[in-house]
């Protein structure tokens, strides 16, 4: 009996239960989703697609996958869904492979501007196996559409990505559609972060404007870790072979047998998304995010874009010191509040010249807190704790000498664990968190 593992699982459960999970890409799944994810479906091998498997005994697996496909299309108004990608990155790889082809030109948002690794970053497959070109944001953190259009005309990409992982505004799909049409490119929307907001009616849908949609299922959709690729009517009209190309890119192009327990859990989550209560959830996520942003700025905390239009925000710490992202993450975690360090737009400018591992900002959001039933008044209280914790980071600037940074961070971690103010906040957070049980616990 692997008791150590189960002990560690229980310890992680208590950590989540007693703290505030504010990483915007994290959320809580329901008990039903957990049941499906931990089911005997994990025992079955099912290479291929419904009705076209390489193994026998898949009649019921076919029904599960078809149901997941139907639910996905119903939620997003699409005409075809591939629910087999293991996660978001393979889903995006499959789209690149199917629509751009090896070596094809792909245009996506730059990573420090809020883009995702898979949208054309040099260190990922999207920059290694494809000719990646990046557009950026302006000083306010919005996409620079003038630059994006110029790059599209100059490089003639086969595929354009809209979406990101640290973008505080609503995505303007219509503007990207015009750019894609002008250069003949396919347009793909990676809505991994805002999929739940779209499904709940709190963010515009990309379906009328793009050819392909990808999304993870474990963020604002509150499902298991996985991903789906969706084909829109517009995409099918552009290329009648697009569904076949996507399917072949996923299997056998990139993956073997699908994770059937994952597919079933996705279907369960999608059933929950279609309930009226989910619309209320999505709306509350945005309300909570906006009030949290307002309270932080009222405390002289600088936010990229001076606020948020969705579920997340980026705190710019440069006014507090140099390279404080890692230290802020450590301080907040010590206080029971989990966020992630984050690079900022224009972080290569003088005075901000830190690396992605030692950035000048942090990213935080409200999806998981909202899943626990927290609302506006709770956001005001949480903002107060965040402001107090960030005040403890002042004076702990990152060393300019790169070779000294790792040792400095380890030293700061030890110091943070002894910080009386952070430990006081932690106790207050624990008492507060107990009042809001997490789903699935």
The helix/strand/coil state of 81 is: strand
Q: Which of 26, 32, 44, 47 is an active site residue? A: 47
Is 217 considered catalytic here?
A: no
For the chain, how many residues are written?
Answer: 441
Quickly tell me which residue has 């597919």 as its tokens. 263
Helices (H) and strands (E) in the chain, counts: 17, 15
Backbone dihedral angles phi then psi of residue 248, each to the nearest 5 degrees: -70, -30
Distance between CA atoms of residues 196 and 177, nearest Å: 22
Distance between CA atoms of residues 333 and 340, nearest Å: 9
| Exposed/middle/buried for residue 223 (C-beta within 10 Å: 0-12, 13-18, 19+) | buried
Q: CB within 8 A of 20, min separation 6: which ones?
A: 336, 337, 338, 369, 382, 429, 433
Q: Which of 67, 121, 219, 247 is an active site residue? A: 219
Distance between CA atoms of residues 393 and 397, nearest Å: 8
Is 372 considered catalytic here?
A: no
Q: CB within 8 A of 407, min separation 6: which ones?
A: none
* H or E element in which residue 108 lies: strand 105-109
Instruction: Classify residue 364 by its DSSP letter.
Output: E
CB 210 within 8 A of CB 234: yes
Cis omega (within 30 of 0) for bond into 252: yes
**Nearest alpha-carbon partner for 142 in 331, 297, 394, 345:** 345
On the CB side of 141, CA atoms within 13 Å amount to 23
Is 42 considered catalytic here?
A: no
Q: Which of 65, 190, 247, 272 is an active site residue? A: 190
Distance between CA atoms of residues 431 and 32, nearest Å: 27
Q: Which of 170, 225, 279, 302 is an active site residue? A: 225
Q: Which of 215, 216, 220, 263 is an active site residue? A: 216
Q: Which of 32, 45, 149, 376 is an active site residue? A: 45
* H or E element in which residue 227 lies: strand 227-231
Distance between CA atoms of residues 65 and 58, nearest Å: 10
Q: Which two tokens stand for residue 325?
A: 């992202």
Distance between CA atoms of residues 267 and 395, nearest Å: 49
Task: Kindly tell me the sign of the dihedral angle through the C-alpha atoms of 340, 341, 343, 347.
Answer: positive
Q: Which two tokens stand for residue 242?
A: 């697009």
Is 190 considered catalytic here?
A: yes
Active site residues: 45, 47, 190, 216, 219, 225
């Amino acid at each position: 009996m692997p008791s150590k593992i189960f002990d560690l699982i229980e310890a992680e459960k208590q950590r989540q239960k007693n703290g505030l999970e504010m990483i915007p890409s994290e959320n809580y799944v329901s008990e039903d989703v957990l049941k499906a994810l931990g089911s005997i479906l994990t025992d079955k091998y099912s290479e291929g697609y419904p009705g076209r498997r390489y193994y026998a005994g898949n009649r019921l697996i076919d029904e599960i996958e078809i149901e997941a496909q139907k639910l996905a299309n119903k939620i997003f108004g699409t005409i075809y869904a591939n629910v087999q990608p293991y996660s978001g990155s393979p889903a995006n790889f499959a789209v690149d492979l199917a629509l751009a082809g090896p070596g094809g030109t792909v245009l996506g948002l730059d990573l420090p501007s809020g883009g995702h690794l898979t949208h054309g970053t040099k260190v990922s497959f999207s920059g290694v196996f494809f000719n990646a070109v990046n557009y950026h944001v302006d000083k306010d953190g919005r996409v620079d559409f003038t630059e994006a259009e110029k790059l599209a005309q100059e490089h003639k990409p086969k595929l354009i990505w809209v979406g990101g992982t640290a973008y505080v505004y609503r995505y303007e799909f219509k503007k990207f559609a015009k750019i894609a049409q002008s250069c003949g490119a396919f347009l793909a929307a990676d809505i991994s972060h805002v999929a739940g907001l779209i499904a709940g009616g709190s963010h515009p849908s990309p379906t009328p404007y793009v050819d392909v949609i990808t999304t993870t299922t474990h963020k604002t959709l509150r499902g298991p870790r996985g991903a789906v690729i969706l084909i829109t009517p517009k995409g099918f009209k552009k290329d009648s072979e697009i569904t076949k190309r996507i399917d072949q890119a996923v299997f056998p192009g990139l993956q073997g047998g699908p994770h059937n327990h994952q597919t079933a859990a996705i279907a369960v989550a999608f059933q929950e998304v279609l309930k009226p209560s989910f619309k209320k959830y999505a709306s509350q996520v945005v309300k909570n995010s906006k009030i949290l942003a307002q309270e932080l700025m009222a405390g002289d905390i600088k936010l990229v874009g001076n606020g948020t239009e969705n579920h997340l925000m980026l705190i710019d710490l440069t006014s507090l010191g140099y390279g404080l992202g890692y230290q802020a993450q450590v301080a907040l975690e010590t206080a029971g509040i989990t966020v992630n360090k984050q690079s900022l737009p224009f972080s290569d400018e003088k005075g901000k010249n830190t690396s992605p591992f030692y950035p000048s900002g942090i990213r935080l959001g409200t999806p998981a807190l909202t899943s626990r039933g927290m609302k506006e008044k709770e956001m005001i209280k949480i903002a107060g704790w965040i402001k107090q914790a960030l005040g403890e980071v002042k004076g702990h600037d990152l060393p300019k000498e790169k070779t000294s940074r790792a040792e400095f961070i380890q030293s700061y971690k030890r110091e943070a664990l002894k910080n009386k103010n952070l430990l006081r906040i932690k106790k207050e957070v624990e008492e507060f968190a107990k009042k809001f049980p997490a789903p699935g616990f």
